[in-house]
Structure 1
Amino acid sequence: MTARPQPLSRRQWLGHCLPLGPLAGLATKAQAIPDRQAVSGLGGWGGGGPLRIAVGARSTLFHLPVVLAQALGYFEAEGLQVHILDYAAGAHAAHALAVHAADLCCGAYQHVVRGQLQDQDWRSLVLLARAPQLALVADARLGSTADLARLKPLRVGVTAPGSSTDFLARLWLHEAGVPEAGLQFVALGSGAAAVQALREGQVHVISHADPVLTLLEQRASVRVLADTRSLKSSAQVYGGTMPGGCLFAGQSFIQRNPRQVQALVNAMVRALRWLQTAGPADLARLVPKAYLLGDRSAYLAAFEKVRETLSPDGLMPADGPATALRAVSRLQPAAVAQARVLLEKTYSDLWARRAREKLEQV
């Protein structure tokens, strides 16, 4: 029997998430890094073991390029051993990087920007998606924003506090004028539990990624409040091109391991190029059955919804970093005003350009 997700009290939520940052939303280090025993034997990377990439909810389409790079043997072809550490949400994966339980993280670019507010020197190595690939949906019986505001508490399901799903939900609700005092956030993790939570009334609103979103649209009566699964709808939410998933690491790791960094980006750009022409049969052959959540057709339909947002080359859109900073500032105006966020230090296209040159020579 599936355990019911537990809502966080307002006191707990504020303690976990404010000030909002990439490391916020983690109750304890043990909860943030549930598989520490499996990780501890690998140690920090220094050439003595596989590279550890932390991801939040590996089964979501958000991480499809990483999953496929491994399944297609692209990491191995670059002479790399890669160990993917799967956490319940992106905030947990970012925390693993911060405490050196991982060497790199695959997560939302906004984590890199928000990291500067907490003195993290993270840098995006390669962009995987040109949109966050998330959506905020509500029970269709809640016909308007006024209906949402009247609910006390309004239960909002997210993957975890501090995650990109949490960020989208908080941003939309804030700008829609829904009082924060009436909000009760519920950490759902990933997978079928999120679908069940909305269908059974455990939450009123869910912010999540696909294939969960498509399953909700097909199996429940929902109303989409905010959608970032297409370039157009994402730009409507954020006012410009909002970078989605990326592979990022600390500057010290990058400086110590230049060959490995370039090899990783080579593999990722190759996977992104493969995805540009991949068909349903190709995905069905490579994606683990468990990731389909029991509905192959829904998974493939979800992929088609986000396909256009996948980066074709791993390069950062020109207006992407500024859009991300504006989004963070909309929720954290005081923090952004006080800090000097240097966007040029949050990413580089150098490795993706080199990877593209290598592929063109083959």
Structure 2
Amino acid sequence: MNPTSRLVVTAVAGLAMVAAATGCRDSRTATAAEGGKAPQVKIMIGGIDKVIYLPPKLTEQLGHFKQEGLDVQLLTEPSGAQAENVLISGDVQGVVGFYDHTIDLQTKGKCIQSVVQFADVPGEVEVVSTAQADKIKSPADFTGKRLGITSPGSSTDFLTQALAVRAGLKTEDITRVKAGAGPTFIAAMDNGGIDAGMTTDPTAAKLTSSGKGKVIIDMRTEEGTRAALGGLYPASSLYMDCAWVQANKPTVQKLANALVKTLKFINEHSAEEIAAKMPAEYAGGDPALYAKSINDTKSIFRPDGLMDEEGAKNVLEVLSSFSPNVQGKKDSIDLSKTYTTEFVKAAK
């Protein structure tokens, strides 16, 4: 575990201990930062160094949160499934992860909504190990293969199952293996722990540039996403508890202002200019490859933070094709509660 991960785990564990010691705390309103100068908001990111989740860290780097008078703490977990658990427990006020979690959680009686929609497409790719490239050319070849996902219940898990079902397979025909992202994913492919897997940049860029992997499904583009999933699939977003949003509208508006400003920056600047604003360690010692990974993914980001309504409907359709949580409740899902455009429409 790297130092950043240890820090996050320790912080979250500490929060849990405080909660246990003090009983049920009231997390319905934003807490004041030190000196009472700014609302404090903790946001958990399902992999802070993934390019698909670049906007919040770039927002911090550009100073947009501070410009809005916010004290935002960005934390990280390896996958969206783990990040959503921290939100539900009340230890953070927001999660940067895939929109599909809001639908899945509604089937479990939770009201969670996207307040800023970063992307209309997943930004994910299915990478096949070079050693397996002649055997796995499409999802129809997934049977009996070890398929890497970040973790069970993550959006990479959802997408892997969806691709299999659309190819005529059953979910029980495939083997999903927890492989994480970044170094753990690459190591799993290196040692044969997985034959193929769902991942994002910069992991994808590292695998393809080294010749270790080959992309067979590319959902970093609208064309590739429509071909793979039958339509748009709104993904990367900032989602929050509905009750918290209603109780903290001024703070949520400031978050939206800052993030929409960043989305416009991404839309108006080159990958090299964006990479230069990010922490140097994100480049992993290869600035050119990091800039390439941003360039390969940056087109997924909307410049306005709005949700595509038809895309949201397609996410529900895709989830209902395989998810036991959604299949029996599809007709009772209220999509209007899974996202709001109120704040991005009012963004400065």
The verdict on a shared fold, with TM-score over 0.5 as the criterion, is yes
Correspondence for 1:36: 12
Greater shift in the superposed pair: 330-339 or 253-262: 330-339
After superposition, where does 1:254-269 map in structure 2 within 5 Å?
254-269=245-260
Q: CA deviation at 1:274?
A: 0.8
Deviations 1:235-254 (A, max 9, x none): 11121111011111111101
Whole-angstrom CA distance in 2 between matches of 1:152 and 1:127: 34
Whole-angstrom CA distance in 2 between matches of 1:169 and 1:295: 30
Structure 2: unaligned runs, 5 residues or longer: 3-7, 20-24, 34-39
Answer yes or no: is the 8 Å Cα contact 1:231–1:308 preserved in 2: no
Deviations 1:203-257 (A, max 9, x none): 1111111110111111134343322111110111121111011111111101111
Correspondence for 1:304: 295
Answer yes or no: is the 8 Å Cα contact 1:199–1:220 preserved in 2: no
Q: CA deviation at 1:294?
A: 3.0
Answer yes or no: is the 8 Å Cα contact 2:139–2:164 preserved in 1: no
CA distance 1:323–1:115, change in 2 (3 Å): same
Correspondence for 2:205: 214
Q: CA deviation at 1:277?
A: 1.7
Q: Is the partner of 2:346 in helix, strand or coil?
A: helix
Greater shift in the superposed pair: 221-230 or 110-119: 221-230
Whole-angstrom CA distance in 2 between matches of 1:148 and 1:324: 19
CA distance 1:189–1:147, change in 2 (3 Å): closer
Q: CA deviation at 1:180?
A: 4.5
CA distance 1:95–1:247, change in 2 (3 Å): same
Q: CA deviation at 1:276?
A: 1.0
Q: Is the partner of 1:135 in helix, strand or coil?
A: strand
Alignment counterpart, residue 188 of structure 1, candidates 176, 179, 194: 179
Q: Is the partner of 1:57 in helix, strand or coil?
A: coil
Whole-angstrom CA distance in 2 between matches of 1:147 and 1:282: 35
CA distance 1:277–1:289, change in 2 (3 Å): same
TM-score, normalising length: structure 2: 0.86
Does residue 1:48 correspond to 2:32, yes or no? yes
Aligned residues with identical type, % of pairs: 26
Q: CA deviation at 1:121?
A: 0.6
TM-score, normalising length: structure 1: 0.83
Correspondence for 2:217: 226
Correspondence for 1:169: 160
Does residue 1:108 correspond to 2:118, yes or no? no
Report the aligned-residue RMSD.
Answer: 2.6
Does residue 1:125 correspond to 2:103, yes or no? no
Structure 1: unaligned runs, 5 residues or longer: 3-31
Does residue 1:341 correspond to 2:340, yes or no? no
Alignment counterpart, residue 80 of structure 1, candidates 60, 67, 70: 70
Q: CA deviation at 1:127?
A: 0.6
Whole-angstrom CA distance in 1 between matches of 2:142 and 2:237: 36
After superposition, where does 1:2-21 map in structure 2 within 5 Å?
none
Q: Is the partner of 2:32 in helix, strand or coil?
A: coil
Aligned length: 327
Whole-angstrom CA distance in 2 between matches of 1:148 and 1:281: 34
Correspondence for 1:275: 266
| Letter of the 2:30 counterpart | G
Q: Is the partner of 1:319 in helix, strand or coil?
A: helix
Whole-angstrom CA distance in 1 between matches of 2:293 and 2:175: 28
CA distance 1:211–1:150, change in 2 (3 Å): closer
Q: CA deviation at 1:34?
A: 6.0
